[in-house]
Chains A and B, each alone.
Chain A
Amino acid sequence: MSTATFRIWRGERGDGRFEDYPTTVSEGMVVLDAVHQIQSDQANDLACRWNCKAGKCGSCSAEINGKPRLMCMTRLNELDLERPVTIEPMRAFPHVRDLVTDVSWNFRVKQKIQKFTPTAPHAADGTWRMQQRDIDRVQEFRKCIECFLCQDVCHVLRDHQLHDEFVGPRFLVHIAALEMHPLDTADRTAELREAHGVGYCNITKCCTTVCPESIAITDNAIIPLKERVVDRYYDPLKALVRLVRGGTKGESRAT
Chain B
Amino acid sequence: MAYAPLPIAPRRFGETMRTDAWWIQPAVIFLLFSAFIVYSTWAALQGNHYTYGPYLSPFYSPELFGDSPHAWFGAKPGWWPSWLLFSPAILILWAPGGFRFTCYYYRGAYYKSFWADPPNCAVGEPRSSYLGERYFPLIFQNIHRFFLYLALVFLVFLAHDVWQALWFTDAAGHRSFGIGVGTLVLAANTTLLGGYTLGCHSLRHMVGGILDRIAERPVRRAMYDCSSCLNRNHMQWARLSLVMVMFADLYIRLCSMGIWTDWRLL
Asked whether A239 is an interface residue with its Cβ less than 8 Å from the other chain, the reply is no
Chain B interface size range: 35 or more
The segment from B71-79, B92-100, B210-218 found at the interface with A is B210-218
Of the residues A18, A20, A132, A159, contact of B10 by C-beta under 8 Å: A159
CB distance from A42 to the nearest CB of B (A): 9
The segment from A29-37, A52-60, A82-90 found at the interface with B is A82-90
The segment from B29-37, B42-50, B117-125 found at the interface with A is B117-125
Known: A160-B128, A224-B205, A234-B143. A197 touches B6 (CB 8 A): no
Contact A199 B202 (CB under 8 A): no
Interface centre among B2, B8, B107, B108 (most CB of A within 10 A): B8
Q: In whole angstroms, how far apart are the Cα atoms of A120 and B144 in the complex?
A: 37
Contact B122 A153 (CB under 8 A): yes
A residues in contact with B4, CB < 8 Å: 7, 17-20
**CB under 8 Å from chain A, chain B span 1-55:** 1-11, 16-20
Of the residues B5, B17, B132, contact of A202 by C-beta under 8 Å: B132
B residues in contact with A17, CB < 8 Å: 3-6
Contact B210 A227 (CB under 8 A): yes
Q: In whole angstroms, how far apart are the Cα atoms of A15 and B214 in the complex?
A: 52
Asked whether A252 is an interface residue with its Cβ less than 8 Å from the other chain, the reply is yes
Contact A202 B201 (CB under 8 A): no
Asked whether B112 is an interface residue with its Cβ less than 8 Å from the other chain, the reply is yes
Total contacting residues, chain A, CB less than 8 A: 69
Contact B1 A202 (CB under 8 A): no
Of the residues B18, B209, B216, contact of A67 by C-beta under 8 Å: B18
What is the chain B residue whose CB lies nearest that of A216? B232
**CB under 8 Å from chain B, chain A span 55-74:** 63, 65-68
Known: A155-B125, A228-B210. A91 touches B145 (CB 8 A): no
Known: A67-B122, A230-B142, A230-B145. A203 touches B117 (CB 8 A): no
CB distance from A79 to the nearest CB of B (A): 9
Chain A interface helix/strand/loop/mixed: mixed
Asked whether A161 is an interface residue with its Cβ less than 8 Å from the other chain, the reply is yes
B residues in contact with A67, CB < 8 Å: 18, 121-122
**CB under 8 Å from chain A, chain B span 119-143:** 121-122, 124-125, 128-130, 132-135, 138-139, 142-143
What is the chain A residue whose CB lies nearest that of B124? A159
What is the chain B residue whose CB lies nearest that of A89? B8
Q: In whole angstroms, how far apart are the Cα atoms of A131 and B8 in the complex?
A: 48
**CB under 8 Å from chain B, chain A span 183-216:** 184, 197, 199-206, 209-210
Asked whether B111 is an interface residue with its Cβ less than 8 Å from the other chain, the reply is yes
Chain A 95-128 interface mask (CB, 8 Å, partner B; 1/0) = 1000000000000000000000000000000000
CB distance from A162 to the nearest CB of B (A): 7
Known: A17-B3, A80-B19. A206 touches B132 (CB 8 A): no
What is the chain B residue whose CB lies nearest that of A184? B212
Asked whether B104 is an interface residue with its Cβ less than 8 Å from the other chain, the reply is yes
Asked whether B239 is an interface residue with its Cβ less than 8 Å from the other chain, the reply is no
Contact A209 B121 (CB under 8 A): yes
Contact A155 B118 (CB under 8 A): yes
A residues in contact with B128, CB < 8 Å: 159-160
Q: In whole angstroms, how far apart are the Cα atoms of A41 and B104 in the complex?
A: 49
CB distance from A230 to the nearest CB of B (A): 5
Of the residues B19, B142, B209, B232, contact of A66 by C-beta under 8 Å: B19
CB distance from B236 to the nearest CB of A (A): 13
CB distance from B139 to the nearest CB of A (A): 7
Sorted nearest first, the 7 A-B pairs with minimum C-beta distance are: A199-B134, A66-B17, A66-B18, A206-B121, A200-B132, A18-B4, A131-B215
Contacts A/B (CB < 8 Å), 14 sampled: A9-B6, A67-B122, A91-B8, A131-B215, A134-B214, A155-B118, A162-B130, A199-B133, A200-B134, A202-B117, A209-B121, A219-B201, A234-B139, A255-B216
